[in-house]
Structure 1
Amino acid sequence: MNILINHPKLKQFMNYCPKFLIACLIVVLGSCSTRNLFDTAGAPKVTVDKNPLVLHKDSVLFTLRATIPAGLVSEKNTYTLLPEYQYGEGALPLEEIEVDASDLAASGTSVEIIEKMSFPYLEGMDRGELRVKGLLEEVESGKSFTTPYIQLAEGIVSTPKLVRVGQFAPGESIPEVGAYMAYDEAFLNMAAYESAYYFSKNSAQINPSESNDAFKEELESVAAKGEPINTILIQGMASPDESSYIKLSSQRAQAIESYLKDQLKKAGYQGNVNAITFEMSQKEPDWLLFRHLLRTFNKIDMTEKDKYFDIIYGDASYEEKVNAIKELPSYKIFSRDKFDQMQLAQVAFMMAKDRRPDPEISGLANLYINGTAQGDELTEAELARAAEFNPGLKEKQILYEAMISKHGSALAYNNLGVVYLNQAHRMIKVSDKNNKVTEAMNLFRMSNDINESAAARHNMGQAYLMREDYGAAYIEISEASALSKDNPEFNSFNEGKRGAIDIIRGDYKLATLRLKEAPETATNLFNKGLAFYLAEEYAQAAVAFEESALSNMEFGYAFYGLALVAAQNRDEERLYENLQKAVQRSPYLKRRAATDMEFKDYFQEAEYREAIR
């Protein structure tokens, strides 16, 4: 024992022990002094206006009310409320509410707090809790006392997240998204033969070089067919490194018109050249071919290509855009390899011809799909027709790409973009999906540059939906609505998507009005029921959910909607019956039902657990 006491380190500790005990006593007494304020003043009272909390738009909004008793706040003390939303393995701290002497109406009075608060909704938050603790601090000494947490609200009702805008969960069927454009029947009876005539740089002189051998062969082929030519479409173009785009492209179109009038007879055309209508088409200036060549250029990556797209889609003048792209690192290689393909006039010969029957079109389309086509087996219109009755996305992609190689029409760019959206839907890797959506958006922009359409605007909106950029999606789909006023069928289709976004935006009444005008598909009817439900019009919600279920008995969301209404009506039999049907049809709904605060009153019921088992 003596050995232990005489140990040097132990003796040193014993010497300092009184000082240590005094310091501990001061801390304890200080804490007790701060804590005693609660014994005399009482604990603060804190409540919120919603329990459970409710999702609105993309956030959870609530009003916090608190009464801080007289005495807790003074010149000597401050009091801070520390709210947080606890869920899963962590917690989201919310805005602190600090009260000090400046908030007192008079010395020794209580403080009333009314604070509107919000926090972003994140997946997994449904079964969390909003809680708060208090922090009482002495101003001079910095001593503090923290109160235990108290629960303010349990969970979040996130029912608006059920809205269907083309998304799907694992285990559910993948919905088709987007709007394809279709050729008019009248155009399907025309046959277009297309070619391009190339010019030397900065020149509009006829160029007899070998680069135009293919054009001469096409001209001879058209003349040899012995069919009358109705119209010849001509579009002059120039590359960004040539001077005066407008002047040069116009001169090239005029040069080709004169050249064709002279050369058609020499090529053997038997018809009346003077009866042919020559139509000049010019975008001033036109970036369409530039974008196509950029998109298909494999010597620069997508990140570098996006720099070009950012410039050419900007608001600057043509000259400013040209100067900007010249500063890009890849400009030299791109201009060297591709710009000569923009120094041209595009020519399309429109012939009067009976339309091929669909079986013949289908047979010739297989040559493209199998990779054995020469490229002139089908006209652009016939390729569009073939793509319509080929259900596979890969087959559609090949046929629309063949259309673009013939002539970059608004239809071809839009429809290839729709194919890309649906391919993106089926991709597992997020980066691959995002890249494919970006490619689709570029195609929709190209389509709109040629001819702005409700379809391409709608599809751009759908692309933004896939990126969960709901604000941008709403703008695009609203533009589509304005463009489709004279097309009731498309307008109805577009309003269905617009109404669904209204639910996301929290405008439930407006959503009900728009969805009443939408086609009565299972998805639109469910969204209509959801809008009525969120607007607290439960009878009309039930009707829409019933109609959705009748439209497609395998659509689990319709039964989930009916379960929501049953829960509101306290109809346990219908609740369990419809919930069981819903979870049997969708693994996602099964997982959701286990945490959905709409059903919180039933979580402990054996029948509920059995229904979602």
Structure 2
Amino acid sequence: MLDQLFKKKPVLFLMLLLPLLCSSIMVPETDFLKDSKVTPGKLEFFRDSVRFEVSGTIPIESALSPRSPKLSLLFKSSESFIRFEDIELTKKVAEYVYKESFVLAYEPWMEGAFLEAQFFQGKKAQTDPYQKKILARGVITTPLLAKIGNVNPDEPIPQVGLFISTGVLDADLSRSQEFLVKFDAGSSTIKMNAANKKAIADLKSFLTENSSVMSFKITGTQSPESSEGKSSKLGMDRAEAVKKLLLESNVSLKENVTEIKARTNDWFDFRLQLRGYEKLSTQRKDQYYAVLLDGSDYQSQSLSLKKIPGFTQVANELFPGLRAAKIEVVAKPLPGLNQTQSALLQNALNDNSASSDLDLADWAIAGETTPRLEDKAKIYSKMTELFRSVVPYNNLAVVKMRQAQRTLDQATKAKLWKEANELLYQASKIGTDPYVLHNQGQILVLQGNIWEAYKKLSDASVLTRNQDFLKYNESLRGALDIMRGDYKLATLRFDYAYSEPKDFFNKGLAYYLSKDYANATLSFEESVMSGRNYGYGFYGLAMVAAQNAQTEVALLQLEKAINASELIYQKALVDPIFEEIRSSDEFFQIFKPSVTINEK
């Protein structure tokens, strides 16, 4: 029968047989998305948006392939998604070409999202793509790490708002200062020369003016000279010698705030000296930093430094500054009301009278020295009845701001911010004051209104030359510069002597985003040294190490960072900065919870 069919209708027979023959031949499937790419290769947050370009080609195989081609994008996370309109395809001789730019207003869910190209062909109503390709995973949101006063779970509550000081007391701002006691080469004996006498005298003067000591560190250091030795014994002897001298000079050293330590075989202090050394060009300094940050051991770095032209002169001028013991003190003044004044204060608080035997300065001191926010609120509230002054309105507003920081209820938080803003408005009607503008700006920052906040903070800086105020105001302004994408400008905002790890971190962030990795490293290290439980300094060091392809260093610093904060832990899991090392077993090993002996 088949023979007869073949003889009578051979064409029909071939048509029936052709599909069977074709199905047995392995034809490679065309990868229509092979050339599809996104620029930049890693999506980044910049200012308030995510900007990228998608481009590529789709090969034309024949008149029927691809058939009715369509290309679209999907940006999706577990929380939300954006499906874009089809990308326009321009037909050429042998391919379709496409290039399209996108600007997305950033939303938090985008940080863990992926960008996927989806190719369709065939029926127009088709919902499942013919091919898919992930172009990018996550969004780099490094600028959003800037510390601006937001409260995060399992982290200390940031201090926000600035009280107006009477000038007698500045209880809200701590003051830090360094004093250097120098030694002869190889010696731990203190010679009371003019420089050392002045250092001790300046220290005593500082402690007299700032009697409440919060931190007192004595660090013995050694230069890399052979006469200084290779162990930390000389450095520790120097630190102990300074401690003994201070005790003999009637300087009180409270054990709970005093730290005695030594540093040796460490180029950290030398790097700090290089920063302020003006006899080297920027290019020459970069040579030094390239050695000091290459991750090699101390001895290897020492040999490499000696090969840099002019090192002998630099060593002769800087090494003597390392034969020393550095005293670092963080303290604040502690005045207050006497017994008689305290009694008058209590009478006034319990009385409905519109007068008081205490003046404005006495009331202000009472408010500033009272530790509990509830007591401050009572004092400043009473002051608004007694005095027409910016001080009580501003300071009561700060109390409201700090109470808002301590509540988890969003409605209560918003109510307290509203009350604080109303008080600041009343203060502004009495007089123009930089503290009022700063506090208005801080509330706007916490409410997410970055641009209006920046104007308030800028106006505040114009109104005063008070260095303590500027240090605080400019640090917040610098954090906003980071978020606004003005990274170079941000680095200029942090030209102050800070003591808080968050300020050092923000400074390092500004340098990192400006691609000045040497200064970024120094600032992140200072953040770590000022607060080892503050994980963001370690995270910054991990970012620099990842940028420099130092995988082992990055993993080491990242492990310290994620152990300090749950927020950092979650961020590190999706941060594209660590994409190159995320596939390694070592990366996921540091995220595994530790197992105790009893659990084994």
Classify the TM-score, shorter chain. Answer: 0.5 to 0.7
Asked if 1:113 corresponds to 2:71, the answer is: no
Shift in Å at residue 69 of structure 1? 4.3
**Matched position secondary structure for 2:74:** strand
Q: 1:159 is matched with which residue: 142, 147, 160?
A: 142
1:122 maps to which residue?
Answer: 107
Shift in Å at residue 483 of structure 1? 1.5
Q: 1:57 is matched with which residue: 41, 47, 55?
A: 47
**Matched position secondary structure for 1:156:** coil
1:469 maps to which residue?
Answer: 449
How many Å separate the matches in 1 of 2:488 and 2:336? 50
Q: 1:175 is matched with which residue: 149, 158, 163?
A: 158
How many Å separate the matches in 1 of 2:85 and 2:125? 21
1:307 maps to which residue?
Answer: none
Shift in Å at residue 472 of structure 1? 1.2
How many Å separate the matches in 2 of 1:144 and 1:552? 54
Shift in Å at residue 71 of structure 1? 8.3
Q: 1:564 is matched with which residue: 532, 543, 546?
A: 543
How many Å separate the matches in 1 of 2:404 and 2:128? 54
2:565 maps to which residue?
Answer: 586
2:305 maps to which residue?
Answer: none
How many Å separate the matches in 2 of 1:89 and 1:579? 26
2:411 maps to which residue?
Answer: 431
Kept in 1: contact 2:69–2:120 (CA 8 A): yes
Q: Call closer, same or farther: CA 1:389–1:95 in 2, change over 3 Å.
A: farther
How many Å separate the matches in 2 of 1:167 and 1:40? 50
Shift in Å at residue 361 of structure 1? 3.1
Shift in Å at residue 492 of structure 1? 2.6
Asked if 1:602 corresponds to 2:584, the answer is: no
**Matched position secondary structure for 1:554:** coil
Asked if 1:132 corresponds to 2:122, the answer is: no
Asked if 1:490 corresponds to 2:490, the answer is: no
Q: Call closer, same or farther: CA 1:523–1:90 in 2, change over 3 Å.
A: closer
C-alpha offsets along residues 113-155 of structure 1, whole Å, 9 cap, x if unaligned?
32221223333433331002134578xx989994332211122
Shift in Å at residue 445 of structure 1? 1.7
1:348 maps to which residue?
Answer: none
2:425 maps to which residue?
Answer: 445
2:317 maps to which residue?
Answer: none
Shift in Å at residue 502 of structure 1? 0.5
Counterparts of 1:229-268 in structure 2, within 5 Å, are none
Paired residues, what number? 399
Q: Call closer, same or farther: CA 1:393–1:52 in 2, change over 3 Å.
A: same
Asked if 1:91 corresponds to 2:81, the answer is: yes
**Matched position secondary structure for 2:134:** strand
Q: 1:407 is matched with which residue: 353, 374, 387?
A: 387
Q: Call closer, same or farther: CA 1:145–1:606 in 2, change over 3 Å.
A: closer
Counterparts of 1:250-399 in structure 2, within 5 Å, are 357-367=337-347, 371=350, 376-399=356-379
Q: 1:67 is matched with which residue: 48, 57, 65?
A: 57
Q: 1:456 is matched with which residue: 436, 444, 450?
A: 436
How many Å separate the matches in 1 of 2:82 and 2:367? 50
Q: Call closer, same or farther: CA 1:396–1:73 in 2, change over 3 Å.
A: farther
Shift in Å at residue 356 of structure 1? 9.6
Shift in Å at residue 373 of structure 1? 7.2
Structure with greater Cα Rg: 1
Which amino acid in the other structure matches residue 132 of structure 1?
A: A
C-alpha offsets along residues 258-307 of structure 1, whole Å, 9 cap, x if unaligned?
xxxxxxxxxxxxxxxxxxxxxxxxxxxxxxxxxxxxxxxxxxxxxxxxxx
Shift in Å at residue 72 of structure 1? 9.3
Kept in 1: contact 2:149–2:160 (CA 8 A): yes
TM-score, normalization: structure 1?
0.59
RMSD, matched Cα: 3.2
Kept in 2: contact 1:496–1:519 (CA 8 A): no
Shift in Å at residue 387 of structure 1? 0.4
1:291 maps to which residue?
Answer: none
How many Å separate the matches in 1 of 2:527 and 2:50? 29
How many Å separate the matches in 1 of 2:164 and 2:126? 71
Kept in 1: contact 2:444–2:453 (CA 8 A): yes
Which amino acid in the other structure matches residue 380 of structure 2?
A: Y
Q: Give the unaligned 5+ runs of structure 2.
A: 1-27, 170-334, 594-600
Q: Give the unaligned 5+ runs of structure 1.
A: 1-37, 187-354
Residue identity over aligned pairs, in percent, reads 32
C-alpha offsets along residues 438-472 of structure 1, whole Å, 9 cap, x if unaligned?
11112112211211111111111100011011111
How many Å separate the matches in 2 of 1:609 and 1:381? 58
C-alpha offsets along residues 557-590 of structure 1, whole Å, 9 cap, x if unaligned?
1111112222223334432332232223222212
Shift in Å at residue 611 of structure 1? 2.7
C-alpha offsets along residues 57-81 of structure 1, whole Å, 9 cap, x if unaligned?
232211111324458999x986543
Shift in Å at residue 367 of structure 1? 4.7
Kept in 2: contact 1:522–1:555 (CA 8 A): yes
**Matched position secondary structure for 1:593:** helix
**Matched position secondary structure for 1:52:** coil
Kept in 2: contact 1:163–1:504 (CA 8 A): yes
**Matched position secondary structure for 1:594:** helix
How many Å separate the matches in 2 of 1:184 and 1:515? 24
Kept in 1: contact 2:33–2:119 (CA 8 A): no
How many Å separate the matches in 2 of 1:360 and 1:431? 42
How many Å separate the matches in 2 of 1:383 and 1:498? 31
How many Å separate the matches in 2 of 1:147 and 1:60? 27
Which amino acid in the other structure matches residue 534 of structure 2?
A: F
How many Å separate the matches in 1 of 2:69 and 2:557? 50
Which amino acid in the other structure matches residue 501 of structure 1?
A: L
**Matched position secondary structure for 2:568:** helix
Which amino acid in the other structure matches residue 504 of structure 1?
A: M
Shift in Å at residue 512 of structure 1? 1.0
How many Å separate the matches in 1 of 2:97 and 2:131? 21
2:511 maps to which residue?
Answer: 532
Kept in 1: contact 2:80–2:109 (CA 8 A): no
Q: Call closer, same or farther: CA 1:45–1:577 in 2, change over 3 Å.
A: closer
How many Å separate the matches in 2 of 1:539 and 1:531? 12
Which amino acid in the other structure matches residue 482 of structure 2?
A: I
Kept in 1: contact 2:49–2:105 (CA 8 A): yes
**Matched position secondary structure for 2:525:** helix
How many Å separate the matches in 1 of 2:31 and 2:492? 54
How many Å separate the matches in 1 of 2:127 and 2:442? 53
Kept in 2: contact 1:94–1:119 (CA 8 A): no
How many Å separate the matches in 2 of 1:517 and 1:64? 43
How many Å separate the matches in 2 of 1:394 and 1:145? 61
Q: Call closer, same or farther: CA 1:518–1:436 in 2, change over 3 Å.
A: farther
Shift in Å at residue 109 of structure 1? 6.5
**Matched position secondary structure for 1:413:** helix
Shift in Å at residue 86 of structure 1? 1.6
Kept in 1: contact 2:74–2:83 (CA 8 A): yes
Kept in 2: contact 1:72–1:136 (CA 8 A): no
How many Å separate the matches in 2 of 1:146 and 1:581? 43
How many Å separate the matches in 2 of 1:385 and 1:96? 66
Kept in 1: contact 2:377–2:396 (CA 8 A): yes
How many Å separate the matches in 1 of 2:153 and 2:131? 41
